[in-house]
A = this chain, B = another copy of it.
Amino acid sequence: MVPIAKLTIVEAINAALRQEMERDASVVVLGEDVGRDGGVFRATDGLWEKFGDERVIDTPLAETGIIGASIGLALGGLKPVCEAQFDGFATPMLDQLINHASRIRWRSRGRFSCPLVLRFPYGGGIRALEHHSDSPETYYAHTPGLKVVVPSGPYDAKGLLASAIRDPDPVIFMEPKRVYRAIREEVPEEEYTVPLGQARVLQEGSDVTVIAWGAMVRECREALALTSYSIELIDLRTLSPMDTKTLVESVKKTGRAVIVQEAPRNCSVSAEVAAVLSREAFTSLRAPIKRVTGFDTVIPYPRMENYYIADEKRIAKEIDKVMKY
């Protein structure tokens, strides 16, 4: 029998990193405080002790340099898995990601490629300082040439991160810090991967399709308990490229859709989902597609942030409204 442990998301990520580093000597982990300190969330705990200074690298405080050098490391035959400490500190990396990492294969007609992973914790709900609670997935998802992955639980976190590390292209791996330690799941100790680009139907249903990713999946699960409809709950998992097939099939069946995200609304991932569904399931739709999102303002400091992030009650209410349309 395969040994199985009950792990949290952060432990599952740690396990994936360890597993991939054991499997492939070209994998190196770098970032601020990822080494001796094991990362501010302990996601890289124990790796420095095990793999040493040359594979688990504490860098100076320089996000542009970290991602720029990671591009160079990738070009030089290594597999950098770099970390931004929080969502708001990955922003200085956008220039190198948009203008280089995402285009190196494209620009060179396949001569070079840029297989790197950028991991960072994202989202609110941990009572943190400003710039520690943002949900910036749209910036990455809008950028051609990047893949964007967001796990919602420990099993997927391990399998998706393994896939991200093995992927031949740059992958942005966003970790829902609000549920880093809130969810425990059985996670096999042996290696496995969960494929990128595939949404997961968490629960089948026939009345309405609810689509979410990351920490909002938990809120949706809780919302389900508050309603008596037959709900199809889908975890998007990979935001880009998006598994529109699974989404469209579901909405063709249910005729209704609620998309739940933490990020601000304007021009976001939920807009793309709604645009695609409204087009591809046009004749099946029995109610307008509902987007339950953050507001078009910065996520508030923690005293107010739970008004910003939709909770299970708000989600349940919106499901109800869509059903009663």
Contact = CB atoms under 8 A, between A and B. Distances in A.
B99 A88 contact: yes
Interface string A94-107: 11001100110011
A91 B288 CA distance: 36
Interface stretch (A116-124, A138-146, A198-206): A138-146
Copies of this chain, count:
2
Contact of A266 (B102, B130, B141, B285): B141
Nearest to A63: B95
Contacts of A271: 267, 271-272, 274-275
Contact of A95 (B94, B144, B275): B94
A240 B266 contact: yes
B106 A298 contact: yes
* Range of interface residues on A (Cβ < 8 Å): 35 or more
Given A274-B278, A278-B278, A102 B142 contact: no
A296 B141 CA distance: 10
A152 interface: no
- Output the residue of A99, A280, A287 with the most chain B CB within 10 A: A99
Interface string A73-111: 000000000000000100110110011001100110000
Interface of A: 64, 88, 91-92, 94-95, 98-99, 102-103, 106-107, 130-131, 136, 138-139, 141-142, 144-145, 240-242, 264, 266-272, 274-275, 278-280, 282, 285, 287-291, 295-298
